[in-house]
Amino acid sequence: MMEWLTEWLTARKLPIGKSAKNFIDFLTEHAATLFDGIAAVLQTVIDRLLWCLQTLPPLLLVLLAAGTAYLVHRKISLTAFVIGGLLLIINQGYWQQTISTLALVLASATLCMAVGVPLGIAAAHRPWLYTVMRPVLDLMQTIPTFVYLIPALVLFGLGEVPGLVATVIFAIAAPIRLTHLGVSSTPNTLLEAGHAFGCSARQLLLKVELPFALPQIMAGFTQAIMLSLSMVVIAAMVGAPGLGVPILRAINSVNVAKGFEAGLAIVIIAIILDRVFRPRAESRPSLKKTSLNVALRGFWKQYFSATQVSKNRRSATK
């Protein structure tokens, strides 16, 4: 009985895969111009980033990265690690691949924030929207990356663009979730104070909710960078240049030395980007308190300004 039921279910297979294929074929046939335009725009963005990074001499770029790390965190140890790590990458001969990977990661993280932050804000203000988005975000984060790499390859062709699209799909869920968390966790006392002082919805967003949610938004940016770096090798499978290419070659030729060197370069870049864009450790516990103080300071400033205007009017009337 159970075997017959299993055979009956197997014989009546739902056409899920066939429907997905038909949908991709429909897009390829009727929206080829649209996807070609998107590919051209994304390729231009990557080329411009790559040109900016490749124009500077390697040692000058190392000094700029070290100076940025010191200005942001004021730590000699982090600055020394940035200099030592980047010089080690140059010494191992992976500088050009590192620059290509860095351009792809920065383009992916920027695109994730440009799309993810507005979606997170909209989801925080509309609970029904986040209810709809949640299963989609879960699917994007759990489905194997090769599954949506195939349609990206069909729609955009070989090169950096399908790798960028697949990376964005994989990494964009983190900025959306963390932006939603930060905005939706704004204390009601702040929101009520904003309404009491006559803030419009736009002012409430820009002066109260976003400053309070800034630590979570920056955490989403860091997560997007880390997730983008994890897609380096997979992006190389569809023709994207970078550190994933030597790793793939090392896998094909069982070259342990080359694989370890390229993997170490990815680890160094990941640590540098994570440490530079991460908020200061000593100020992390008070980030929300700082945002709260900034918002309250703005409210009290408006209050005292209004009080002073009222006093001036009274004195003028007398």
Over residues 261-310, the pLDDT tens digits come to 988 999 999 899 988 888 765 444 444 444 445 444 554 454 445 455 45
What is the pLDDT, as a whole number, of residue 99? 92
Give the whole-number percent of the chain exceeding pLDDT 90: 25
Residue 69 near residue 276, CB atoms below 8 Å:
yes
At 281, which amino acid appears?
A
Contact 109, 277 (CB under 8 A): no
202: its two tokens: 């736009």
Amino acid 318: pLDDT: 53
DSSP state of 206: I
* Residue 84: band (very low, low, confident or very high) from pLDDT cuts 50, 70, 90: very high
The answer, yes or no, to whether residue 97 has pLDDT greater than 70, is yes
The encoded tokens of residue 106 equal 């920065």
Does the structure show a pLDDT above 80 at 233? no
**Given a cut of 80, is residue 248 above it in pLDDT?**
yes
Tell me which of 22 and 283 has the higher pLDDT. Answer: 22
Which residues lie closer than 8 Å to 261 by C-beta, 6 or more apart? 92, 94, 246
Mean pLDDT of the 69-92 span: 92
Q: Give yes or no for a contact between 116 and 172, defined as CB atoms under 8 angstroms apart.
A: yes
Which residues, other chains included, contact 96 with Cβ-Cβ below 8 Å and sequence gap of 6+? 54
Q: Are 302 and 197 in contact (CB under 8 A)?
A: yes
Distance of CA 129 to the CA centre of its chain: 20
Confidence grade of residue 164 (pLDDT, cut at 50, 70, 90): confident
Provide the CB-side half-sphere exposure for 281 (13 A, CA): 5
pLDDT of the residue at 179: 93
Structure tokens that stand for 63 in this block: 């000094």
Distance of CA 261 to the CA centre of its chain: 26
Least confident stretch, 173-182, 187-196, 248-257, 289-298: 289-298
pTM above 0.95?
A: no
Query: What mean pLDDT value characterizes the chain?
Result: 82
Is residue 255 packed enough to be buried (19+ CB in 10 Å), middle (13-18) or exposed (0-12)?
middle
Residue 113 pLDDT grade (very low, low, confident, very high; cuts 50, 70, 90): very high
What is the C-alpha separation between 275 and 264, in angstroms, rounded? Answer: 16
CB 51: neighbour CB atoms within 10 A?
10
CB 213 within 8 A of CB 186: yes
The CB-side HSE value for 44 (13 A sphere, CA atoms) comes to: 6
